[in-house]
Amino acid sequence: MRKKNFLRLISLFVFMFILSGTFITEAATKKVAVGTFANGAKSRYGSLACTNLESNIFSGLVQNKNYEVVERAQLDQIFRELGLQNSGVVDSKSAIEIGHMSGADYTLVGKVLTAEVIPFDNVFYRGYKGKVAFEMHLVDNKTGLVMFSDVISDTDSQMYSPGVSVNSRNLISAAARSAATKVLEKMNEITPLTGTLLNVDRAEDVVYFDLGYDNGVREGDTYTVYKEGAPLVHPATGEILGIKETVLGTVKVKDVKSNYSIAEIKKEKGSFKTGDKIKRGE
């Protein structure tokens, strides 16, 4: 009986803590394990693409305060202990083990399918094109289920100039960097970037919020403003599964600083107030 009363007291404390407005957004931070990408292209360009994809995805996630990334040395050790090969695939059982050993919510792995530099010649101009295509898998480490799986590709071009040789490494690196951006965009769809309104300027019809370029905000992005309500509590276990959200409207980013942004009010169904929450997407 004492144990039940204690658990009820803890649940009540958490409930009041959330409603008090002191709930820290970092509690929703997701931890990601970025595995070593496999060189399915079996070429030196493939190896270069793998390195660039890993590096750009890793740094992009680190810069986004929505994520915490497992250190490479720790993850390499876990992969060795589990006997995983660099195949670009992690099965359900291994994903759950990675979650237990690293604390990561997700594991992201991939395999480069294509990495090549080819000449092109059309009516308007000629030159060289670098192309990278890779297979990406994002696995939920709690369930072992694949959350997202797709082939992502991108290219970069260099126009022909007499006496100028093609820079193949730059073409592959640029194509991989663009492909990595697509991965980060997909991650942001799965786990939206969230922040807080700092100020609502009615005279200019704009809002200021506490996310900036360093967090991955870009000019032209659309964000949803919402208000947090009561927690969603599982009736049987008492576990807090999330928080109710009331959508207040949308804004469009017009100016981005390093640690905050300014956005135009596009649609306002409920009155925006300082302290309201904001997240990327509609």
pLDDT tens digit string along 142-176?
Answer: 999 999 899 999 999 999 888 888 999 999 999 99
**DSSP code for 18:** I
* pLDDT band of 2, cuts 50, 70, 90: low
In the chain, which residue ranges form alpha helices assigned H by DSSP?
Answer: 2-17, 44-63, 72-82, 92-102, 168-190
Beta bridge partners of 131: 116, 155
Higher pLDDT among residues 86 and 265, named by residue: 265
The class (CATH top level) of 193-280 is: mainly beta
Query: Looking at residue 87, what is its pLDDT?
Result: 64
Treating both helix axes as pointing N-terminal to C-terminal, what angle do 92-102 and 72-82 enclose, rounded to 10 degrees?
130
Question: What percent of the chain shows pLDDT beyond 70?
Answer: 88
pLDDT tens for residues 196-246? 999 999 999 999 999 998 777 889 999 999 998 888 888 888 777 677 889
Whole-angstrom Cα distance, residue 271 to residue 230? 19
Supply the pLDDT for residue 246.
Answer: 92
Distance between CA atoms of residues 173 and 171, nearest Å:
6
SS3 190: helix
Choice between 194 and 43, residue whose per-residue pLDDT is larger = 43
The CATH number assigned to the domain with range 28-190 reads 3.40.50.10610
17-54 pLDDT, tens digit each: 444 443 333 345 789 999 989 999 999 999 999 999 99
CA distance 198 to 260: 9
Give CA separation, 31 vs 86, 163, 181, in Å. Answer: 21, 49, 19
Sign of CA dihedral 79, 85, 90, 93: negative
* More confidently predicted of 109 and 231: 109
| DSSP structure class, residue 213 | G
Query: In angstroms, rounded to a whole number, what is the distance separating the alpha carbons of residues 275 and 123?
Result: 56
Mean pLDDT of the chain: 86
**Where are the chain's structural domains?**
28-190, 193-280
CB atoms within 10 A of CB 106: 24
Band the pLDDT of 83: cuts 50, 70, 90. confident
CA distances from 207 to 49, 144, 246, 250 (A): 40, 40, 18, 10
Stronger pLDDT, 121 or 17, i.e. the higher one: 121
Kindly state the average pLDDT of the residues 260-281: 93
Q: Show the CA angle centred on residue 53, arms to residues 85 and 113, nearest 5°.
A: 65
Q: What is the pTM of this model?
A: 0.69
Q: What is the pLDDT of residues 5-21, one digit of tens each?
A: 544 544 444 444 444 44
Burial 202-223 (b: 16+ CB within 10 A, else e): eeeebbbbebbeebbbeeebeb
Phi, psi (deg, nearest 5) at residue 276: -65, 155
